[in-house]
């Protein structure tokens, strides 16, 4: 078996950084992050060492889903700035060697998008077929029992035309009809215009769900009272036809990066999406590892991710895509609670656990995505009051589960503090001052009280900070091609505390060993490391006893390099 994936590409060698613009940096003092705020932090990002920034949507939007409900695909929402400012951002980012990837949200639009407003005019409206309409069921009810991800039915009744439209997320986000060639043409033209403007690629929102297929039958109902159709939709092979068309029409021959958000996908589909032949996308985000603590009431519980299951899932994707596709690696994003709060320690061992989690992720095969604040060891926000929440998903879930008596208000707020998307969407912690260096105004969302001691200013010049550690890790990825291309081999896969693996390259083998336990553990040192030529590349514990004594401190992580040619 090959030691390395053979095809070299810049986007494989890159480390990406996700900016959630509303919470990144507020340049004009209105409490909302904006483009001039991002520009002011480009030096920080270049200094961190990342290569690519992915910016979540900044398009005009009514804001029901915080920008993922777009009413104009070709402008900038004034709360973020102007198109001129966006162009300056591109220029300034490029001048620092940073590429800029933007969000493409074309599974659905906002219900305020002119296309949808036109579609509402009636059955014969020009853009009617840009959306998915169905007649009522014989009993007058919705066409099937599918549920929307943010609560309620996936079908909304339109009184005027006497039909339902499909909304897999919320009624404010009607699904686009990719079967319609004119819709596809308009989307491709819009994408071309962004590329002409100089963006370096797209992160494609729920791209796995664009092709709905013909099977609109009822399905098994969960605790929500509805059927979740996402797995069946994601299994429809037609999505690959559309992406190949998009490749031919827009993406082909361009030096860009494409990453699809592949909700509910399978490994085999991910191989097709990220095929080494380049016929679809570069890579996809999959979510199997994120869903390991889910249950009957979706994510609303206090379960944690079992480390052994996490290892098994990551191993499945690492080995399954090797030489066939490419992984996009992440612990966190704007839809997930922080991994540090899920599997690390928010107390005295916060920095150790943040560094351990970073090591574990950044040394895997794939392109790593750091979510803003990960590099500081930021933690989940705790919510004590519904009024602190901004995300409709959490608010709707609160209404639903407290409304039907499934959970008390206290329980639900507890689960929301553990799992809601708002936990990680809070403002970035730049300094310990009031406003956290994020804003001089009133922030759109509460700032975490721990910004007084968790902030970039404090970490910037401290050699043992989480931030400094990230810089070192990123350098290792850039300097050791094995960290990018080497084959992943798990070590002691059954161990429930330690996630350890080799990355086997042509010139070098890396050994990565991460203790997920809050206590010290013993862990066997692989025989391959007991030879000369072994170098300790990085670790989060000074005077580590691992190589000599086979002992790992709480949340210890080590990266060791050995000469691959040694027998």
Q: How far is the CB of 330 from ligand NOJ (least distance, A)?
A: 11
Is 345 annotated as catalytic? no
Please pick, from the candidates 32, 100, 206, 560, the single residue that binds ligand NOJ as defined by CB under 6 A.
206
Choosing from 65, 175, 205, 332, which is the catalytic residue?
205
CB 56 within 8 A of CB 18: yes
Rounded Cα distance, 358 and 364, in Å: 10
Please pick, from the candidates 261, 280, 375, 422, the single residue that binds ligand NOJ as defined by CB under 6 A.
261
Does residue 169 interact with ligand NOJ by CB under 6 A? Answer: yes
Residue whose token pair is 């804001």: 63
CB 508 within 8 A of CB 498: no
Give whichever of 335 and 351 is closer to ligand NOJ, judged by the CB atom: 335
Q: How far is the CB of 70 from ligand NOJ (least distance, A)?
A: 9
Judged by CB under 6 A, the chain residues 339 through 358 that form the site for ligand NOJ are none
Give whichever of 169 and 546 is closer to ligand NOJ, judged by the CB atom: 169
- Reduced to 3 states (helix: H, G, I; strand: E, B; else coil), residue 356 is helix
Q: Which is it for strands 557-563 and 508-515: parallel, antiparallel or unpaired?
A: antiparallel
Q: How far is the CB of 205 from ligand NOJ (least distance, A)?
A: 5
Does residue 513 interact with ligand NOJ by CB under 6 A? Answer: no
Q: Where are the alpha helices (DSSP H) in 376-430?
A: 392-403, 409-419
Q: Which of 57, 58, 33, 53 is nearest to 43 (CA)?
A: 53
Q: How many CB atoms lie within 10 A of CB 242?
A: 17
Q: How far is the CB of 464 from ligand NOJ (least distance, A)?
A: 34
* HEC string for 12-47: HHCCEEEECHHHCCCCCCCCCCCHHHHHHCHHHHHH
Q: How far is the CB of 331 from ligand NOJ (least distance, A)?
A: 15
Rounded Cα distance, 257 and 275, in Å: 14
- 369 membership: H or E segment, kind and range: strand 367-371
Whose CB is nearest to ligand NOJ? 68
Give whichever of 178 and 516 is closer to ligand NOJ, judged by the CB atom: 178
Binding residues for ligand NOJ, total number by CB under 6 A = 9
What's the DSSP call for residue 4?
B
Q: How many CB atoms lie within 10 A of CB 8?
A: 11
Does residue 375 interact with ligand NOJ by CB under 6 A? Answer: no
Q: How far is the CB of 170 from ligand NOJ (least distance, A)?
A: 8
Give whichever of 169 and 226 is closer to ligand NOJ, judged by the CB atom: 169
Residues 6+ apart with CB under 8 A from 335: 421
Give whichever of 334 and 477 is closer to ligand NOJ, judged by the CB atom: 334
Q: Compute the C-alpha angle 442/431/558, nearest 5°.
A: 130
Give whichever of 68 and 165 is closer to ligand NOJ, judged by the CB atom: 68
Please pick, from the candidates 55, 105, 307, 513, the single residue that binds ligand NOJ as defined by CB under 6 A.
105
Give whichever of 65 and 293 is closer to ligand NOJ, judged by the CB atom: 65
Give whichever of 261 and 556 is closer to ligand NOJ, judged by the CB atom: 261
Q: Which two tokens stand for residue 373?
A: 């604040």
Judged by CB under 6 A, the chain residues 323 through 342 that form the site for ligand NOJ are 334-335
Q: How far is the CB of 138 from ligand NOJ (least distance, A)?
A: 31
CB 394 within 8 A of CB 422: yes
Q: How far is the CB of 210 from ligand NOJ (least distance, A)?
A: 12
Q: How far is the CB of 80 from ligand NOJ (least distance, A)?
A: 16
Is 205 annotated as catalytic? yes
Q: Compute the C-alpha angle 98/70/111, nearest 5°.
A: 170
Judged by CB under 6 A, the chain residues 41 through 100 that form the site for ligand NOJ are 65, 68
Torsion angle of the four alpha carbons 437, 341, 518, 286, in this order, in degrees rounded to the nearest 10: -120
Q: Compute the C-alpha angle 28/34/38, nearest 5°.
A: 105
Across the strands, what pairs with 101?
A: 54
Give whichever of 85 and 335 is closer to ligand NOJ, judged by the CB atom: 335
Choosing from 77, 261, 332, 556, which is the catalytic residue?
261
Q: How many CB atoms lie within 10 A of CB 265?
A: 25
Phi and psi of 185, rounded to 5°? Answer: -60, -45
Q: How many CB atoms lie within 10 A of CB 15?
A: 22
Is 120 buried (19+), middle (13-18) or exposed (0-12) by CB count in 10 A?
middle
> What is the contact mask toward ligand NOJ in residues 123 to 162, using x (rule: CB under 6 A)?
----------------------------------------
- Footprint of ligand NOJ on this chain (CB under 6 A)? 65, 68, 105, 169, 205-206, 261, 334-335
**Which active-site residues does the annotation give?**
205, 261
């Amino acid at each position: 078996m090959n030691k390395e994936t053979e095809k070299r590409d810049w986007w494989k060698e890159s480390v990406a950084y996700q900016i959630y613009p509303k919470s990144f940096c507020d340049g004009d003092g209105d409490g909302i992050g904006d483009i001039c705020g991002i520009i002011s932090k480009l030096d920080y990002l270049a200094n961190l060492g990342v290569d690519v920034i992915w910016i979540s949507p900044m398009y005009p939007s009514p804001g029901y889903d915080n920008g993922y409900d777009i009413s104009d695909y070709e402008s900038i929402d004034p709360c973020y700035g102007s198109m001129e400012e966006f162009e300056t951002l591109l220029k300034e980012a490029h001048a620092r060697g940073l590429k800029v990837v933007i969000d493409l949200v074309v599974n659905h639009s906002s219900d305020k998008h002119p296309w949808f407003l036109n579609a509402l005019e009636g059955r014969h409206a020009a853009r009617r077929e840009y959306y998915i309409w169905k007649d009522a069921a014989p009993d007058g009810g919705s066409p099937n029992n599918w549920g929307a991800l943010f609560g309620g039915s996936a079908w909304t009744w339109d009184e005027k035309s006497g039909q339902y439209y499909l909304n897999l997320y919320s009624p404010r986000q009607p699904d686009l009809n990719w079967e319609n060639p004119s819709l596809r043409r308009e989307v491709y033209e819009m994408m071309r215009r962004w590329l002409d403007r100089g963006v370096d690629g797209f992160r494609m929102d729920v791209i796995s769900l664009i092709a709905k297929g013909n099977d609109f039958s009822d399905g098994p109902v969960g605790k929500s009272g509805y059927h979740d159709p996402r797995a069946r939709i994601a299994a429809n092979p037609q999505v690959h036809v559309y992406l190949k068309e998009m490749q031919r029409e827009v993406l082909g021959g361009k030096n860009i990066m494409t990453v699809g958000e592949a909700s509910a996908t399978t490994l085999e589909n991910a191989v097709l999406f990220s095929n080494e032949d380049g016929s679809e996308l570069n890579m996809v985000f999959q979510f199997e590892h994120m869903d390991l603590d889910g249950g009957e009431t979706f994510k609303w519980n206090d379960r944690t991710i079992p480390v052994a299951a996490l290892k098994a899932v990551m191993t499945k994707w690492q080995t399954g895509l090797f030489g066939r596709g490419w992984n996009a690696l992440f612990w966190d994003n704007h839809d997930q609670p922080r991994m540090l709060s899920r599997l690390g320690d928010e107390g005295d061992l916060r920095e150790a656990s943040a560094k351990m989690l970073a090591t574990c992720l950044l040394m895997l095969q794939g392109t790593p995505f750091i979510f803003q604040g990960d590099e500081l060891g930021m933690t989940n926000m705790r919510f004590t009051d519904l009024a602190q929440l901004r995300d409709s998903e959490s608010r709707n879930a609160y209404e639903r589960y407290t409304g039907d008596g499934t959970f008390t208000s206290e329980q639900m707020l507890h689960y929301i503090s553990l799992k809601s998307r708002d936990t990680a969407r809070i403002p970035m912690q730049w300094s310990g001052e009031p406003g956290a260096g994020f804003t001089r105004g009133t922030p759109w969302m509460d700032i975490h009280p721990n910004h007084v001691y968790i902030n970039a200013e404090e970490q910037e010049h401290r050699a043992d900070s989480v931030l400094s550690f990230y810089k070192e890790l990123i350098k290792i990825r850039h300097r050791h091609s094995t960290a990018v291309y080497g084959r992943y081999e798990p070590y002691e896969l059954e161990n429930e505390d330690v996630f350890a693996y080799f990355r086997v390259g042509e010139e070098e083998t890396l050994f990565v060993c991460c203790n997920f336990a809050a206590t010290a553990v013993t862990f066997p040192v692989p025989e391959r490391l007991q030879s000369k030529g072994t170098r300790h590349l990085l670790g989060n514990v000074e005077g580590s006893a691992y190589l000599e004594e086979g002992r790992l401190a709480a949340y210890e992580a080590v990266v060791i390099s050995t000469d691959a040619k040694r027998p």
